[in-house]
C-alpha cells in the first residue's frame, strides 16, 4: 500500500516537469522507481537551450542534474532531517548535440548509512556522482554533487 507521503511526492515529481526552468530548458523527468531511490532525466536540444555553437547550453546540462540526489534523500529520510545541496561540479567531456540523459540512484543501504551517520553525528556532507550521456551512451559530462544532511 502506498503511503500518503509517497503519493504526495508522486504528484510533486509530475509537477517538476512544469517547473519553468525545466519546462523551458527542455528538461523532463522521464522515469523514477516506486521507492524514489532512482530517477532519470532527459534534456532535448531545442532553440531555448542551444548555445552559440549549436550544442546544449552547459547550464541546462547542469540543471537536468541539479535536484535529484537531494530529492531522493528528502523523500527517503523523512521530515526529521534537513537536506540541502552544498556544492556541485560538472566536467564537460564532449558537446551535447542531441537528446541527453542522466540517471540518479542512491542505494537504500546507502540511505540507511546516511541516516545512521547523521543520527550519530548530527549532520554530514555526502557526495554523489552521475554522468550525462547521449543516445549512444557516450559520456557528455560528469557531475559531482555534495548534499548536506542534518537532524531537525
Q: Give 14-54 pLDDT, tens digit per residue.
A: 788 888 888 888 999 999 998 999 999 999 999 889 999 99
Q: Are 152 and 82 in contact (CB under 8 A)?
A: yes
Give whole-number Cα distances, 86 to 37, 57, 66, 90, 111, in Å. Answer: 20, 23, 11, 14, 17
pLDDT at residue number 19: 84
Task: Enter the C-alpha cell of residue 133.
Answer: 550521456
Band (3; pLDDT cuts 50, 70, 90):
low
pLDDT at residue number 8: 76
Domains of the chain: 4-151 (3.10.129.10)
- Dmax of the chain from CA atoms? 50
Q: How far apart are CA 130 and CA 92, in angstroms?
A: 12
Count of residues in the chain: 152
pLDDT at residue number 10: 76
Amino acid at each position: 500500500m502506498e503511503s500518503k507521503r509517497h503519493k504526495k511526492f508522486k504528484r510533486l515529481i509530475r509537477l517538476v516537469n512544469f517547473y519553468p526552468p525545466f519546462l523551458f530548458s527542455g528538461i523532463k523527468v522521464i522515469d523514477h522507481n516506486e521507492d524514489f531511490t532512482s530517477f532519470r532525466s532527459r534534456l532535448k536540444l531545442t532553440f531555448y537551450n542551444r548555445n552559440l555553437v549549436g550544442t546544449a547550453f552547459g547550464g541546462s546540462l547542469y540543471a537536468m542534474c541539479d535536484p535529484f540526489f537531494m530529492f531522493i534523500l528528502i523523500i527517503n529520510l523523512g521530515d526529521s532531517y534537513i537536506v540541502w545541496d552544498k556544492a556541485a561540479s560538472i566536467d564537460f567531456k564532449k558537446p551535447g548535440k542531441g537528446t541527453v540523459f542522466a540517471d540518479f540512484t542512491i542505494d537504500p543501504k546507502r540511505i540507511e548509512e546516511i541516516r545512521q551517520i547523521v543520527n550519530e553525528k548530527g549532520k554530514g556532507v555526502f557526495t554523489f556522482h552521475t554522468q550525462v550521456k547521449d543516445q549512444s551512451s557516450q559520456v557528455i559530462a560528469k557531475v559531482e554533487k555534495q548534499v548536506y544532511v542534518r537532524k531537525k
